Structure 1
């Protein structure tokens, strides 16, 4: 398969569908940038920072991608020279000196210069050379034990993986590193800065941003050092994010192409010697060295140049770190027989030429149509191969993942203050949309938190509080997606205003039934005809739908209190219910409370039909456990005990996404007791 521009453009378009178009990748980054800006004041209030890193933060959304996170506190201040001590207040901060003398390149030792203030630091101190040093191994083990002993932690099967704790949340693999952050750069980084200025990549604004953000120390030492338990590896994760964002889309897709080839070809059914970090580093070196034309019709040639660089590094047994070139990342990893075997494998692919890409199932499915038909041509212009509906669906999925839980009302007010501040600065369209959704979500959570936590001793107090809550929920439904109407209906039901509940439920049902709505699926033609010309904000409020979320410690409806407690005890922070399900549930319960038997039974029939016969369009598969549970609760309420028992049993057979099995078993026991009592009578 010789390199020709036509095949490169076909591969470019195919990778855009597989990895993301320029707009989709920009949306992913904008949403996460907005999350970081919103949460910054809350991080300062809590005293620590959480940050996404790795491929997810860079804009990839592979099904197998893990979520890398880094966490550090504001109280630890790292310096590179003793003269920098005066910058910080020793009575408020732990001042830590980074020592890079006598350590392998890319590693430092951390010497504590002040008295420790937290248990993590105290339990990790080791005497060395007359000073108190923080042991990376003890630090890592302490954090591992704290996670393993935390029953509220939703992540399970926790293990130590390198500098991180590795765990799974549902099917998502999560790596967490508790580290130290510093704005001070080690001396070895000066060579990298000079190289960047010499090769003019990254650009000077990007370089200045990188240098202003600093770097991190993660808890793992060098494998070749006798004192590696005291060593910490320098991490340039924030810098890497900036560098990946500085790539043009052809470069980003080439990076993704290398990751796919690594996973599906090089490491397929083999003990992996290479990881995706090597692919990222390869991209950095090739881009900085220049002499490559990065454009869609040259993508195959770009891949081949990167692949040859990788072979060259394996052949030499030297893979220099991009930031500290003296750090050979192959030491104690790609060595001996393993390196020889890997080199032979890569050389076989080299002899095949770029046709080795066909060994990957993903890449073969992209390239085969073009290889079998010489006339097969695809335009690489984004507007010609992706519909605006796809972009909106991608944006909806990204934005609706955002969640802003708070431990008290003060944190909610900090969120609202952050929203107000950010609304006055210049934002991209998708950042503004993310801010709008997050404002609506926080208003809903705050409204129900106030309703749950504020006592009303007089009717006047209740009236004032009720007006505040209703105004919050009405503002939220004006800012949020279509299904946010249901939170107002839930509040009315909770406070016994059943006519208003039915009115809102009826309005919601009408709006949910529109054929242009975007939920699990969407009618592209009707969506474009009806809302395609509207602003992003109006599109969200008129056509986008999201599951109803019931967060832990925030009671929205008494009938599901048991499920919320069970879910919370098993580490699941919220229940997810289909808006179509909630509409029918409220209809059943409200008619029952009003004593409208016939209408209650009709609504129950509609609910049963929805749960029984839906194919995932209106009741997503991930909500099936709670959906059967809701049906059982409604049947139980109206007195259909046999139907309720069957529904609860069906709930247990579903994938336990919401982790409500304990509540289900309790309800099954209650139904069986009632049936036995009825039989006895």
Structure 2
């Protein structure tokens, strides 16, 4: 591969490197797009973590999604830990805690491999999960990682163990919740990392990393004496901060290594045969940056950057040693890459190395960025600069921006008590005044505000059933005000929460008025919903306006119903079914809910109009308009059609709709409710089958 240094082909290599840079910007993301994704996640977690109390759980998105990647097929990694537990490295650190409020756990690394530890419980735990996870060794009680993992996974019906995580699937997306404990202190075994930080990262970044401590995740070393009970030291937060301070060429080099791993090295292999993982790629990039092996990380140098990282990985495989970036004594190859497998992997990698530039070109044309590279290279004069190639149109960027605000991990779990006590709203009010908010975080904060206002409004109404009329009237006024305010903060379809509330409180004419207004707004050809977007009309209608204005005028989203909050009585069985299956939210396409509310309101006074609305709903579902009903929402869409047919007396049609609902992808986890409704129809009229 040293042939790429041949002066005769330097220009060609630089041009190809630029094409790869452009291709990666389209697949991985431009610098602006990656920054936007990170800002969105950061503000969402700031809101969530600031409202939690000491006896609750905290969490953070980690892994590739937190770093700014949105690669197809990648898992969403999340770390969760109990707030009322803290891990310490030495007994003198107990002085920093109130032991009446927090239970302390002491690290015992004396008999564990580097990077791993046993966790010794210093005082009895009040939590059933922790007590059940303890094992007695040498007259001490240690929290066993394997027992803790087993207990936490069994508490969630649809979770299965996956490494240190409780893994669950929502639709096509895999979610890994890493079960962990938090430590406010930097590990003594990682002190050498501080001494290595001369040029990268900068001192203030290194200080911030050390100040924020580390985590412990529930997995032991496969070759350790106490594998079932050990915990691995996790530097997930530190790694996130390091990735954030990479320049974009460094980040794209990391992205190219991830693509190379997924689409070439591990393509077609079973899980047990995948010896290298994304974490090894990230570790290689960290080491190369810190050792200053490459003086210039730039688009023209991208292939050189990739090659230096590739050679480092080759060296590690040859030696059988992959040193952890923070604790070099932790050889991450030790339990997996050795013996025959190590020899086979090295032979394969060395064969690639020997082919040099030929291998690189062949690999690039095998990756998903192939078409982007070809498009760039078809302009041999390179009259268009790289910056122009990597630009995203206003409409496409808005689609990605709003997609981030509406992702289903927007608020991992809404805290009901925090809504009742207005802690969310108080936190948001404080944040709005912050001068350091980015423009992307303001958009996310608006969306969170709308969601919290809507949830709080319905929660308030749930608590008014036993109140006197005067207090109930005041609560109703507050709820209505919150829902109208949410519609000003949010998107077009947030008006449907007002319609739901009016229907719930028997104000059918007011509900129908809101529905008609929403219909007109949704009918505009420039409205954006999921991936459906008429770019030309969108740009003509709202181009150049603020994101707040675009949200109000041109954005539609699914209606999100928290399963613990009663919205309308007709959907309570579906919420209960989702709750039984540990699903937190129902997602309903806006047109589906709109027609449902119209049918429910009109059936009280105008059966002909109710039938017209039912026919419109039937047509919408029959024609499978995927731009209006995404595949993952078809289970709830057929279900709602069945509910509307049932309440209007067409039991045969309702039965068919419920049966169709069962045939769809069970994204909303409503099968129990569907079975119950089918049984109910058959009991009412045994002749229907």
Shift of 1:189: 2.0
Corresponding residue for residue 576 of structure 2: 565
Q: What is the CA–CA distance in structure 2 between the aligned matches of 1:272 and 1:403, rounded to whole Å?
A: 33
Cα 1:41–1:258, aligned 2, differ >3 Å: closer, same or farther? same
User: TM-score when scaled to structure 2?
Assistant: 0.91
Mapped contact 2:682–2:688 kept (Cα < 8 A)? no
Of 538, 554, 563 in structure 2, the residue corresponding to residue 527 of structure 1 is 538
Q: What is the CA–CA distance in structure 1 between the aligned matches of 2:227 and 2:374, rounded to whole Å?
A: 49
Corresponding residue for residue 563 of structure 2: 552
Corresponding residue for residue 348 of structure 1: 351
Of 471, 478, 491 in structure 1, the residue corresponding to residue 481 of structure 2 is 471
Of the structure 1 ranges 240-249 and 639-648, higher mean CA displacement relative to structure 2 is found in 639-648
- Any idea what SS the aligned residue of 1:188 has? helix
Of 329, 334, 339 in structure 2, the residue corresponding to residue 331 of structure 1 is 334
Q: Which structure 2 residue ranges, 5 or more long, are not aligned?
A: none
Shift of 1:585: 1.8
Mapped contact 1:6–1:377 kept (Cα < 8 A)? no
Q: What is the CA–CA distance in structure 2 between the aligned matches of 1:140 and 1:260, rounded to whole Å?
A: 32
Corresponding residue for residue 310 of structure 1: 313
Mapped contact 2:602–2:609 kept (Cα < 8 A)? yes
Q: What is the CA–CA distance in structure 1 between the aligned matches of 2:37 and 2:637, rounded to whole Å?
A: 30
Mapped contact 1:551–1:574 kept (Cα < 8 A)? yes
Of 380, 390, 396 in structure 1, the residue corresponding to residue 396 of structure 2 is 390
Corresponding residue for residue 446 of structure 2: 436
Q: What is the CA–CA distance in structure 2 between the aligned matches of 1:149 and 1:279, rounded to whole Å?
A: 34
Q: What is the CA–CA distance in structure 2 between the aligned matches of 1:37 and 1:464, rounded to whole Å?
A: 32
Q: What is the CA–CA distance in structure 2 between the aligned matches of 1:118 and 1:668, rounded to whole Å?
A: 41
Q: Output aligned runs, 1:351-362, within 5 Å.
A: 351-353=354-356, 354-358=360-364, 360-362=366-368
Q: Output aligned runs, 1:158-177, within 5 Å.
A: 158-159=160-161, 161-177=162-178
Mapped contact 2:22–2:389 kept (Cα < 8 A)? no
Mapped contact 1:99–1:109 kept (Cα < 8 A)? yes
- Any idea what SS the aligned residue of 1:553 has? coil
Corresponding residue for residue 132 of structure 1: 140
- Any idea what SS the aligned residue of 2:237 has? helix
Mapped contact 2:526–2:538 kept (Cα < 8 A)? yes
Q: What is the CA–CA distance in structure 2 between the aligned matches of 1:369 and 1:457, rounded to whole Å?
A: 67
Cα 1:500–1:370, aligned 2, differ >3 Å: closer, same or farther? closer
Corresponding residue for residue 109 of structure 1: 118
Of 669, 672, 680 in structure 2, the residue corresponding to residue 662 of structure 1 is 672
Cα 1:640–1:123, aligned 2, differ >3 Å: closer, same or farther? closer
Cα 1:624–1:597, aligned 2, differ >3 Å: closer, same or farther? same
- Any idea what SS the aligned residue of 1:221 has? coil
Shift of 1:127: 4.3
Cα 1:403–1:36, aligned 2, differ >3 Å: closer, same or farther? closer
Mapped contact 2:419–2:456 kept (Cα < 8 A)? no
Q: Output aligned runs, 1:442-453, within 5 Å.
A: 442-453=452-463
For residues 246-285 of structure 1, what are the alpha-carbon distances to aligned partners after superposition, in whole Å with 9 as ceiling and x for unaligned? 1111111111110111111112233111111000000001
Question: Alignment length, in residue pairs?
Answer: 668
Mapped contact 2:117–2:233 kept (Cα < 8 A)? yes
Q: What is the CA–CA distance in structure 2 between the aligned matches of 1:678 and 1:359, rounded to whole Å?
A: 58
Cα 1:482–1:568, aligned 2, differ >3 Å: closer, same or farther? same
Corresponding residue for residue 280 of structure 2: 278
Cα 1:162–1:638, aligned 2, differ >3 Å: closer, same or farther? closer
Mapped contact 1:100–1:108 kept (Cα < 8 A)? yes
Cα 1:120–1:409, aligned 2, differ >3 Å: closer, same or farther? closer
Q: What is the CA–CA distance in structure 2 between the aligned matches of 1:457 and 1:324, rounded to whole Å?
A: 60
Cα 1:27–1:46, aligned 2, differ >3 Å: closer, same or farther? farther
- Any idea what SS the aligned residue of 1:593 has? coil
Mapped contact 1:109–1:133 kept (Cα < 8 A)? no
Corresponding residue for residue 143 of structure 1: 149
Corresponding residue for residue 25 of structure 1: 34
Corresponding residue for residue 321 of structure 1: 324
Corresponding residue for residue 254 of structure 2: 255
Shift of 1:384: 5.5
Corresponding residue for residue 206 of structure 1: 205
Shift of 1:343: 0.7
For residues 100-141 of structure 1, what are the alpha-carbon distances to aligned partners after superposition, in whole Å with 9 as ceiling and x for unaligned? 445432223333333444334433444445x52524xx3332
Shift of 1:415: 1.2
- Any idea what SS the aligned residue of 1:61 has? coil
Of 582, 586, 589 in structure 2, the residue corresponding to residue 578 of structure 1 is 589
Mapped contact 1:120–1:139 kept (Cα < 8 A)? no
Mapped contact 1:34–1:434 kept (Cα < 8 A)? yes
Shift of 1:673: 4.7
For residues 466-517 of structure 1, what are the alpha-carbon distances to aligned partners after superposition, in whole Å with 9 as ceiling and x for unaligned? 2111111111111111101111111111111111111111100011111221
1:93 is aligned to 2:107: no
Corresponding residue for residue 193 of structure 1: 194
- Any idea what SS the aligned residue of 2:395 has? helix
Mapped contact 1:9–1:378 kept (Cα < 8 A)? no
User: TM-score when scaled to structure 1?
Assistant: 0.92
